Amino acid sequence: MTFSIVARSTDGESWGVAVASKFLAVGAVVPAAVAQVGAIATQADANVAYKGLGLAHLDDGATASVALQRLLEEDDKRDERQVGIVDSDGGAASHTGHGCLHWAGGVTGEGYAIQGNVLAGEFVVEAMQDAFEATDADEPLARRLLAALAAGDDAGGDKRGRQSAALLVVSDGAGYAGGDDIVADLRVDDHPDPVTELSRLLDLNDLYLTASTEAEKVPITPALEEEIESLVHQLGHPDLNSWAGTENFEMRVDPHGAWIDEKVLDALREAADS
């Protein structure tokens, strides 16, 4: 009833999980990840304890295969479990117990593990693998995971239908204002088209919760400063920082007024024109 991919980025700096299911709030059950440690997905008759235990094994130095072996050895319901793990070095392991409902299975490759149960067919996992491997290795891991998830969904996904999806990606210091490691932690808990909705949320996440790249920064010249001042006053704010904070754009505006993100500048102009 669930299909997922766990992976490490090609540059070895990010780890994550993408999952979808005909199951309420799948993001509350399946994914877990810790930067510089690894990522895990537990599903089928999910044993949520696998998340903490598996990551602890990885943190202690176990490879994905060894961590998986330890989890299964300690679980008398192993035949009903499905698990995917990727470790800090990109080693991957996947397990599908004999008791998982048909169709169930998985595949591993360099830096990723893909698995699913109660699927429309084996071709769902194959489509996910093809999509992940076809994406540019330099693309952000969140985008690569979402591409694989969307391919699985398009191929038929969970044969019972759609309900929820989730995306979790971690990387050292990549969280809000550098205060944690969360690149993206997004959930669609109950929706008729959850993977599409997850894509929309990732776009918003990238806009509001990630820092501007150098290419996206527009230097604020005296002329632009005058325009911006006029626009924010028109919108009822004393200065740019006040407007940006109100609109949750604070990560995309320099607090000292040196630059503004090109998307935010467009948003400011559109808001003033509306």
Q: Which residues are CB-contacts of 256 (< 8 A; sequence separation ≥ 6)?
A: none
CB 183 within 8 A of CB 226: no
* Statement to judge: residues 218 and 200 lie in one domain: no
Q: What is the pLDDT of residues 215-251, one digit of tens each?
A: 999 999 999 999 999 999 999 999 999 999 999 999 9
pLDDT confidence of residue 211: 86
Of 164, 191, 209, the one marking the end of a domain is: 209
Q: CB-based burial of residue 192 (10 Å sphere; 0-12 exposed, 13-18 middle, 19+ buried)?
A: exposed
Average pLDDT over residues 145-164: 97
Of 194, 209, 224, the one marking the end of a domain is: 209
Residue type at position 141:
L
- Binned at pLDDT 50, 70 and 90, residue 191 comes out as very high
pLDDT confidence of residue 1: 82
**pLDDT at residue 176 is higher than 90:** no
* Statement to judge: residues 75 and 144 lie in one domain: yes
Strand duo 259-261 + 217-219: pairing = antiparallel
* Statement to judge: residues 65 and 119 lie in one domain: yes
Average pLDDT over residues 56-76: 98
Q: Which residues are CB-contacts of 266 (< 8 A; sequence separation ≥ 6)?
A: none
Q: Cα separation of 133 and 123, whole Å?
A: 15
Q: Output phi, psi for 35, to 5 deg.
A: -60, 140
What is the percent of the chain with per-residue pLDDT over 90, rounded to a whole number?
97
Number of domains within the chain: 2
* Statement to judge: residues 188 and 223 lie in one domain: no
* Statement to judge: residues 179 and 244 lie in one domain: no
- Binned at pLDDT 50, 70 and 90, residue 146 comes out as very high
> What angle in degrees, to the nearest 10, is found between the helix axes of 141-154 and 194-209?
170
Average pLDDT over residues 196-213: 95
* Statement to judge: residues 205 and 223 lie in one domain: no
* Statement to judge: residues 268 and 196 lie in one domain: no
* Statement to judge: residues 142 and 241 lie in one domain: no
* Statement to judge: residues 248 and 128 lie in one domain: no
Q: At 45, which CATH number?
A: 3.60.20.10
CA atoms within 13 A of residue 207's CA, in its CB half-sphere: 16
Taking CB atoms within 8 Å and a gap of at least 24, the contacts of 143-147 are 143/202, 144/7, 144/9, 145/5, 145/7, 145/16, 145/17, 145/18, 145/169, 146/18, 146/195, 146/198, 146/199, 146/202
Supply the range of the domain harboring residue 183: 2-209
Of 183, 209, 235, the one marking the end of a domain is: 209
* Statement to judge: residues 168 and 243 lie in one domain: no
Average pLDDT over residues 84-104: 98
* Statement to judge: residues 201 and 260 lie in one domain: no
- Binned at pLDDT 50, 70 and 90, residue 177 comes out as confident
Mean pLDDT of the chain: 97
**pLDDT at residue 178 is higher than 90:** no
* Statement to judge: residues 160 and 194 lie in one domain: yes
3-class SS of residue 273: helix
Beta bridge partners of 109: 112
